[in-house]
Amino acid sequence: MSSGGGAWKVAYADFVTAMMALFMVLWISAQDEKILLATSRYFQNPFHSPMQATSGVLPFNSNKTSQQSGDKAGGEKEQDRNKEIELTFLNSVAADFHRLLHVEENFQDKPVDIQVTSDGLRVTLFDRTKRRIFVADRTEFTEWGSFVVQSLAWMIDRHAMRVTIDGHTRSGLGIRDEYTGWELSADCANATRRRLVQYGVAPTLIDRVAGYADTKPLEGEAGDSESNQRVVLSLSLSSRPKFKDGKLVEKAPGAVGQGGSN
């Protein structure tokens, strides 16, 4: 055997050491910023390590700031995801209501308009001549109006939605002495409340009933436009439904039919 026969062992040892160093560098590079900074400080001054709280080179869970930040970011993502799912759910409820009424969502002079808001749904019932909700300038419901409110009551009760009801009129109403748009708008809103309760909505779900006469006309509409003759219901979920994998698994508690009359 020649005298140089063992030289490969030195080369092999160098190779193994280099590979270990490479793997250490790759592993450290994959860590978060805090560990990278701590490692850098350690190698800059190994005799005054900033990691006295551990027995090894790298700390293990000595400070949960990074973990908490990650949890917070994950929580925010989960909230955003749930909000997106909730909006999808509300859009589905609105679409179901349109189908129930056999009304096209994009119809220009549709008798019912439903908008998805950040809190729930805004449902506008237009009292136009072509398809009246109420008998002209009165608070008695037409057959169509009764059908709409009954369908609305079913939706509210099913999803335990909280309700506010606002009545509006067009300007220039001259009904009779001492009975103006103020009285008519308030009476129409109250008639809607009574009919919802009659069709099964719990009275405790109704938060407010108000009449605004002709003080809040629709944007872009003349004050005397019949489109201003309307009842607006704002519906909000009394509690958030539960979702799993983008599907509704449990509706809001309290969404149980309750009969009654008022």
Determine contact, residues 258/157, Cβ cutoff 8 Å: yes
From the CB of residue 238, how many other CB atoms can be counted at a distance below 10 Å? 18
Q: What is the DSSP letter of 166?
A: E
Q: In the structure, what pLDDT confidence band is assigned to residue 107 with cuts at 50, 70 and 90?
A: low
Determine contact, residues 232/122, Cβ cutoff 8 Å: yes
Helix (H, G, I), strand (E, B) or coil at 19: helix
Closest CA to 150 of 100, 215, 189: 100
Task: Report which of residues 244 and 57 the model is more confident about.
Answer: 244
**DSSP states of 23-39 as a string?**
HHHHHHHTS-HHHHHHH
Burial (Cβ within 10 Å: 0-12, 13-18, ≥19) of residue 30: exposed
Mean pLDDT along residues 238-255: 56
Please provide the average confidence, as pLDDT, over all residues in the chain: 80
Record the pTM.
0.64
In order of 122, 200, 229, the CA distances from 187 in angstroms are: 20, 20, 13
| pLDDT of amino acid 57 | 46
